Amino acid sequence: MKIKALTLTLLAAGFAPALPAWAETVSLQQAVEMSLAADPRIKEREQVVEAARALVQEVKGNAGWRVSANAFIGLAPEAEGGFYQGGAYSGTNPRTDGDKLHGISDWTHLDFALIKPLYTFGKVERYSDAAQGNVELKQGELKQTRADIVYDTKRAYFGFLTARDSRAFLEDMQGRVDQAIATVERGLKEENGEVRQSDLFALQTARGLLTKYVHQARAIEKISLDGLKVLTGTGLQGDLQVADSRIEPVTFPQMDLAEFQARALQDRPEMQQLEAGLRARRALLAAKKADRMPDVYAGVIGQFNYASQRERLDNPYLFDPFNGGGLTPVVGVKWDTVFGVASARVDQAQAELEALNHKKAFAVAGIPYEVGEAYVNAQANFESQRALADGAAAARRWMIAALADFSAGIETADKVADAIKNYALVQTEYLRTVNDYNMNVAQLARMTGELK
């Protein structure tokens, strides 16, 4: 029987029971807003965007002042007296102490450089552009996450309505079959000849299948509602009720297919991410090329040394590394590159840029197809659910007529079972198709970047 396959594919089931007065009742739009406010994935993505913005500031900071300094306290040989032989302060022979150590002195050392880049051949600007492209890429990921959450919420909401309606419908069918079985059992006990044992078997077969589907529908209904609770932040232990009394097909989109496809190519988060990624890759390629060039800088460098147990030399031609110091402004050029490595990095950046260009070309061709597929499916399911609604109404009349004829003794139970089975098939197919259609419309909204 096809009912089994249909029931297993339902996302949720029908007619909600009365809940306590304190249960929170939400519409679809309210559920979407609650999900967007509560979902931790959005907060995670927001922090990723903030980290990307901080990276931009870090890159731009490389154009500002930078300082390097080193200070320590150590030991140095003690030195007393003058520069000449025997420690005299004047003479003709320079002093030579050999390996003789007169003592130990404390030694304080400081060297520093305060530097500001003047020209970097575009390194800072290009790396800044690449970092800004990374920010836009992360913002696209955030937008995509929001679109996914909206879609998931709609799926849980419509799925619950579908499951609730299906469960209530199957329970009603179960009750009608039970009534028919009771009628047959009474007839068999009275031996009136109007019913047969095979009638009982046919109805019991239908009841067994319907009972199984009812249990499955109840399980799907609970799972769907629990999923909606988690998405909206209500919590599994919270009370949540949906505002809609039954599932209804949403309004068919007013835009034509071409407009949907054009909007998807412009506003879809993946396309925005591709454009941001291309800008970042172009900037990164230019930055890798600039890495092969030197940096021009200006600043101040200095050094200071002090040993308390060493005499200071005032000779401008001699320098004591343990005592003395100096300070000077500088303008210089710093070049730090390995030509083979730098060229390889440029080639790598070029290849990554070309790969992203090919990915964009595939997206430009593939996205309109995906939108077209969703649009055609939406059209098909829109027309199908309208036809199935008429078919379900006819099947219901058929079942009621069959039950009436059976009660009057002019119809057999196997015909009643066929009517019930066909009604169950068409009605469950109708509910599933409405759910599919609503999700087709939701998919179109997600593909075009809508966040509602």
Q: 102, 334 in Cβ contact below 8 A? A: no
Residue type for position 397:
R
pLDDT of residue 408: 77
Residue 451 in this model has a pLDDT that exceeds 70: no
Q: Are residues 279 and 308 in the same domain?
A: no
pLDDT tens-digit readout, 258-292: 998 998 888 888 888 898 999 999 999 999 999 88
Q: Are residues 218 and 311 in the same domain?
A: no
Structure token pair of residue 67: 């300082």
pLDDT of residue 33: 92
Q: Are residues 75 and 149 in the same domain?
A: no
Residue type for position 226:
D
The overall average pLDDT reported for the chain is 86
Q: Are residues 277 and 315 in the same domain?
A: no
Domain coverage including residue 385: 2-63+121-294+338-447
Strand partners, 242: 26
Which residues, at least 6 apart from 345, have a Cβ–Cβ distance to it below 8 Å?
Answer: 288, 291
User: Alpha carbon 97 to chain centroid distance?
Assistant: 75
Angle between helices 339-407 and 269-290 in degrees, nearest 10: 170
pLDDT of residue 192: 62
Tell the residue number behind the tokens 């009534």, with chain if given. Answer: 179
**193 found inside a domain:** yes
Residue 333 in this model has a pLDDT that exceeds 80: yes
Question: Whole-angstrom Cα distance, residue 305 to residue 71?
Answer: 10
pLDDT of residue 160: 93
- How far the first Cα of the chain sits from its last, in Å, is 39
pLDDT of residue 7: 39
pLDDT of residue 414: 80
Q: Are residues 162 and 302 in the same domain?
A: no
Q: Are residues 34 and 132 in the same domain?
A: yes
Q: Are residues 56 and 7 in the same domain?
A: yes
Q: Give the 3-state secondary structure of residue 178.
A: helix
In the chain, the percentage of residues whose pLDDT exceeds 90 is 50
Q: Are residues 28 and 166 in the same domain?
A: yes
Q: What is the mean pLDDT of residues 359-368?
A: 89
Of 148, 149, 170, which is closest to residue 219 (Cα–Cα)? 170
Strand partners, 24: 240
Of 137, 119, 114, 2, which is closest to residue 56 (Cα–Cα)? 137
Q: Are residues 155 and 304 in the same domain?
A: no
- Give the model's confidence band at 23: pLDDT under 50 very low, under 70 low, under 90 confident, else very high: low
Q: 66, 115 in Cβ contact below 8 A? A: yes
- Read off the CATH number of the domain in which 37 is found: 1.20.1600.10
Compute φ and ψ for 26, nearest 5 degrees: -130, 145
Largest CA distance in the chain: 149
Compute φ and ψ for 253, nearest 5 degrees: -55, 140
Q: What is the mean pLDDT of residues 150-175?
A: 92
Q: Are residues 50 and 98 in the same domain?
A: no
Q: Are residues 159 and 216 in the same domain?
A: yes
**Of the residues 315, 334, 353, which one is the last residue of a structural domain?**
334
Q: Give the 3-state secondary structure of residue 313.
A: coil
Question: Whole-angstrom Cα distance, residue 269 to residue 141?
Answer: 7
- Reported residue count of the chain is 452
**452 found inside a domain:** no
Q: 188, 172 in Cβ contact below 8 A? A: no
Angle between helices 123-190 and 339-407 in degrees, nearest 10: 20
Which residues, at least 6 apart from 405, have a Cβ–Cβ distance to it below 8 Å?
Answer: 411, 415
- DSSP track, 110-122: EEEEEEEEEE-TT
pLDDT of residue 439: 94
Question: Residue 86 carries which DSSP code?
Answer: G
Structure token pair of residue 1: 């029987």
**72 found inside a domain:** yes
Structure token pair of residue 393: 């109404």
Cα-based distances in Å from 179 to 170, 241, 337, 425:
14, 32, 89, 20
Question: Whole-angstrom Cα distance, residue 55 to residue 43?
Answer: 19
- Give the model's confidence band at 4: pLDDT under 50 very low, under 70 low, under 90 confident, else very high: very low
Number of domains in the chain: 2
**19 found inside a domain:** yes
User: Alpha carbon 390 to chain centroid distance?
Assistant: 41
Q: What is the mean pLDDT of residues 342-351?
A: 90
**Of the residues 283, 306, 334, which one is the last residue of a structural domain?**
334
**205 found inside a domain:** yes
The neighbour count for residue 26, using CB atoms within 10 Å, is 20
Q: Are residues 228 and 187 in the same domain?
A: yes
Residue 122 in this model has a pLDDT that exceeds 60: yes
Per-residue buried b or exposed e for 355-370, using 16+ beta carbons within 10 Å of the residue's own CB: ebeeeeeebeeebbeb
